[in-house]
Amino acid sequence: MLIKVKVFPDSKKEKIFKKSEDEFNVEVRARAQGGKANREVVRALTSYFKVSIGKVRLIRGFKQRNKIFEIIPD
């Protein structure tokens, strides 16, 4: 399943907000430097969808705020 994610790096706390069936806003504490925020978003999504870390893959938007992730269900 593909989902659209809008990332808010350098937030005060980590939070996932579901906008629609395939759209999410994700706030992470990490800064957007060296891929740290992307790794935190992947970790947050694995927790939210209850899948292993290898089941979440960033498809598009490596350096943008709007990203597309693939979630492979267990």
**Model confidence over 22-72: pLDDT tens digits?**
999 999 999 999 999 999 999 999 999 999 999 999 999 999 999 999 999
Let me know: does 25 contact 17? Beta carbons within 8 Å.
Answer: yes
Query: 2-71 sits in which CATH class?
Result: alpha beta
Which tokens belong to 28?
């992470």
Q: Is the pTM of this model over 0.85?
A: yes
At residue 73, does pLDDT exceed 90? no
DSSP 13-66: S-EEEEEETTEEEEE-SS-SSTTHHHHHHHHHHHHHHT--GGGEEEEE-TTSSE
For the chain, the structural domain boundaries read 2-71
- How far is residue 1 from each of residues 33, 42, 55, 72, 74, measured CA to CA in Å? 27, 15, 11, 6, 12
